[in-house]
Amino acid sequence: MTIKIVETVFEPFQEIHAFQMQLALNGKFGATSIFIGTMRDFNEGDQVHAMTLEHYEGMTQKQLEKIIEIAKDKWTILEALIVHRIGDILPSEPIVLIAIWSAHRADAFDACQYIMEELKSNAPFWKRETLNSNQTRWVVKNTDSSANQK
Amino acid sequence: MTIKIVETVFEPFQEIHAFQMQLALNGKFGATSIFIGTMRDFNEGDQVHAMTLEHYEGMTQKQLEKIIEIAKDKWTILEALIVHRIGDILPSEPIVLIAIWSAHRADAFDACQYIMEELKSNAPFWKRETLNSNQTRWVVKNTDSSANQK
Amino acid sequence: MIIITLRYFASLREQIGRSQETLTLTDSITVLDVWQKVHQTPLPDNTLIAVNMEYVERMHYICDGDEVAFFPPVTGG
Amino acid sequence: MIIITLRYFASLREQIGRSQETLTLTDSITVLDVWQKVHQTPLPDNTLIAVNMEYVERMHYICDGDEVAFFPPVTGG
């Protein structure tokens, strides 16, 4: 299980690929579920042209480890990778990557979504957006976890 | 929306990366949910050393297109990519890739899982496994979609 | 006159020993009747049926030119 | 004697105008009392509190050497 907090732009597919290559799991995993959160150029109706991600160093790692441990208790997962960006971020750059390897698909799907929701609720990160007007504002609340089915 | 049926081994992260690069969606998507199904070297308690995937050409594409259309009606998704392998497959080779891009994470998560479950139930693919004993057998039934929570 | 193409896949294809055949009929009948006419055995329980690459029920009536496929439960992904 | 470190993050850090300070107390008090002692204002409603990097309730009693952090709802991911 690996948690990486990175200060510069990362390439999610390269991260997953490199991580997977060094796992001794060939033939053992049947399912990989991946979530990538990417910075948009809009939020709550406004154009956003930059963002700064602050975190509570130490607590971040501790909380993410705890979230993975709980997921491992709930589902049968073989490996987990979390990469989260901090610092100054531009639109279309990745913010977060979660990847779960398991034998069966339901475990991977459920654990990946669980970890993402727990990260959103409990990992001590904070986003400050810079709007196109150059005003800055703290993001006050993460969006809801449930989709509005059409 | 792209559906690819491929007869030779594919590299899922390269497929997603290449597909994403040619989308004109920079800054528009905030969420990417990905599922990769990989061939294991065991199934139902037996060691498996090869697999052949048969499909119903034409119907496969038609069914997958229909599944994506239904997902687009249910959730707000920006793009979808499905890659499915056919032919002779070896353990640790990818079988299926599903990637969904959306503005918000719940749409990506739900659509990706929905498409995977529908593909498993309705897309006309059939797996024949070759066991370590060189016996071959048709896979009779896909595993359940729900995880047994521990 | 109604001419249809029958197709079989996977384990069903192997059991039947061929992947495709043509059937000529004078009247439209259901896909289930098509099976029984050709095979003189009950249709295996789990068999799925598609006409022109869309799933149909057993009571679906065929038309001239239809491609009727019989196959076991799918196991892709 | 109880010496604790207080830490503030994000918008709360900006409002308070500092990220860290030290507090010396004679007795263990709750984290809510710590806030009120230092800031003389009610703790903002949504504020989260962690002691030694674990979430705690407002009635959690501090110990010597604790790092007590106050911050707004988290917005990562």
End-to-end CA distance of chain D: 40
- The answer to whether the CB atoms of C53 and B126 lie below 8 A apart is no
Rg, chain D, Cα only: 12
Q: Does B141 touch chain A (CB under 8 A)?
A: no
pLDDT at B146 over 90: no
pLDDT for position A130: 96
- Provide DSSP, B57-116: TTHHHHHHHHHHHHHHHHS--SEEEEEEE-EEE-TTSEEEEEEEEESSHHHHHHHHHHHH
- As for the ipTM of the complex, it is 0.94
User: Per residue of chain C (77 residues), what is the pLDDT tens digit?
Assistant: 999 999 999 999 999 999 999 999 999 999 999 999 999 999 999 999 999 999 999 999 999 999 999 999 999 99
Q: Is residue B126 packed enough to be buried (19+ CB in 10 Å), middle (13-18) or exposed (0-12)?
A: buried
pLDDT for the residue D66: 98
Nearest Cβ partner for B40 among A30, A73, A74: A30
B56:C11 CB<8 A:
no
Positive or negative: CA dihedral A53, B13, A15, B68: positive
Assess whether pLDDT exceeds 90 at residue B3.
Answer: yes
The strand order across the sheet containing C20-25 reads C20-25, C2-8, C67-71, C48-51, C54-55
Residue A147: the pLDDT is: 66
Distance CA B139, CA B50 (A): 12
The predicted model gives B41-45 an average pLDDT of 91
**pLDDT > 90? residue D41:** yes
Q: Looking at the complex, does the CB of residue A74 fall below 8 Å from at least one CB of chain B? A: yes
In DSSP terms, which residues pair with A81 in a beta bridge?
A2, A99
Closest among A34, A123, A55, A49 to A90, alpha carbons compared: A49
Residue range B91-102: average pLDDT?
98
Residue B139 predicted with pLDDT over 80 = yes
- For tokens 């056919």, the residue is B86
Mean pLDDT of the region B81-89:
98
CB contact under 8 A, A27 and B33: no
Cross-strand bridge partners of residue A88: A52
Which pLDDT tens digit goes with each residue over B62-79? 999 999 999 999 999 999
Instruction: Enter the pTM of the model.
Output: 0.95
- Tell whether the model's pLDDT for residue B147 goes beyond 90: no
Mean pLDDT, residues B128-144: 89
Helix (H, G, I), strand (E, B) or coil at A42: strand
- For residue range A104-147, what is the model confidence (pLDDT) as tens digits? 999 999 999 999 999 999 999 999 999 999 999 999 987 667 76
* Burial status of residue A71 (CB atoms within 10 A of its CB: 0-12, 13-18, 19 or more): buried
Decide: C and D in contact? Rule: 3+ Cβ pairs under 8 Å: no
Distance, CA of B120 to CA of B141 (rounded, Å): 10
Beta-bridge mates of residue B9: none
Q: What is the pLDDT of residue A145?
A: 72
Give every CB contact of residue B14 below 8 A, 6+ residues apart in sequence: A13
Closest CA–CA distance from residue A57 to any residue of chain B (Å): 25
Residue-wise pLDDT tens digits, A50-93: 999 999 999 999 999 999 999 999 999 999 999 999 999 999 99
A7, A86 Cβ separation under 8 angstroms: yes
* CA atoms of B78 and B100, how far apart (whole Å): 8
Q: What is the pLDDT of residue A149?
A: 60
